[in-house]
Structure 1
Amino acid sequence: MPESDLALLVAAARKAGAIATGYFGQSPQVTDKPGGAGPVTEADLAVDLMLADFLRDKRPDYGWLSEESQDGPARLSTTRQFVIDPIDGTRAFIAGAKDWSHSLAIVENGAVVAAAVYLPLHDLMFTATRGAGARLNEAPITVSRAALDAATVLASKPNFLPALWKGATLPPFKQAFRSSLAYRLCLVAQGRFDAMLTLRPSWEWDIAAGALIVAEARGIVTDPQGMPLVFNNAHPQVPGVIAAGDDLHADIAARLEPAAPTH
């Protein structure tokens, strides 16, 4: 019997971790992507090459979208697609920090159906399959139910600019940050943090896997206008993300200034 999509993603994520940790702390070669798209290391490229070979060999009919692979229209005509970030948190990886991850998802009809996010230096494997719950190292996880005034929200500093919030006033939550968007989502799914948000357009490979993991951990994940996230877009971005338990999600969304520019 062929292995499940989730088992395939988990196996691929562990292979990715073995490759990336071999480069970690060894001053890997770094280049800058065109157009100010950020750095890429030889580790990112080595992981991407392995994942493309390994996953596409197992599922040759699936489309392919990866941060480090050239995109094209072929995936748009496939039923299912791999959506991959070989290393999410490349800047953290370069800096020698440990909070980077491998983010792997499978999308069907615009929705994520299987996901794995792996942090090899912490040996944390977050997983989810649509309709079957979310897990961390095989143990079930759920989002917190914190109220707004007791919540800690993961986001980068530009998301906390007063102009983005109604009345130019930040809600009474605490602020925190982690480099990897995928890890931020998983930390919300685990209940270690109460919400995450990013108010700028977000690449699908950064958030696809984590979005399913939060949703299967009984959280709510939408764009900043409260609309469901749709994946495998021709231009593979969504207009930002809010992820939290249901009441907290509603409170955060209600306090955002809808006319404010994103950052």
Structure 2
Amino acid sequence: MTDSADSPSFRLAYVPGVTPAKWVRVWEQRSPDVPLTLVQVEPAEASDVLREGRADAGLVRLPVDRTVLSAIPLYTETTVVVVPKDHVITAADEITLDDLADEVVLHPLDDVLGWDRPPGEPAFERPATTADAIELVAANIGVLVVPQSLARLHHRRDLTYRPVADAPQSSVALSWPEEATTDLVEDFIGIVRGRTVNSTRGRARPQQESGETAGKTGKGGKAGKDQARKPAAGARTAGKNPRARSGGATRSGGAGGARTAKRGKPRRRS
């Protein structure tokens, strides 16, 4: 494993649409002495950024070059079509690609869905970016099919979106150079996989807690002394229950019990 002690911080690349905030918060709680620096990159550049060491790991869109990069798939996004709010498509809760057959479907150069052939009618030219395509949708020039996170990222009041049931989907993964699997990378892997602080896969933590626990619960510990001072359950019961001391003399406990009951409760005179 590569030593990461010389790194001033942990550099995490991420592509548009991915929100690393929840993992960053956990990192800051667990490793407050190691600053985490976020590096936003375009999807097409993400692999080069990792290979060239400009980031320690990245939240990227699959696929990646698995000959040099390791990757842990995290989730797969819903694909949606972005349309003006008054578009006929908004009448449905969900559509299929066939519903786009007569639509001009914009295909930006930074598309992340990897179409073999985009649905619908092609636009006169391809927009340079997804942001440019969103502007064209707002101008009623066409519609745009993207992962839901990108539709949210480029939200406009005059636009909305609907899920496309049979469209290709985009998966997000944590990726890093396989030959640079540092301790800090292992720590971040643990965070995205939901490992606890005490996980054996993480870096070693001081074992004082285990020693303190043993001291409190051992024979000579406080817990052991308290337990020794506590009377047995049966002794407490016998001390509070006179019948227990008398050997079980109850109303239904035989002749002795009947006499005790008779003496204790005189018969009323009529």
Q: TM-score, normalised by structure 1?
A: 0.25
Larger Rg belongs to:
2
Higher relative contact order (CA closer than 8 Å, sequence separation 6+): 2
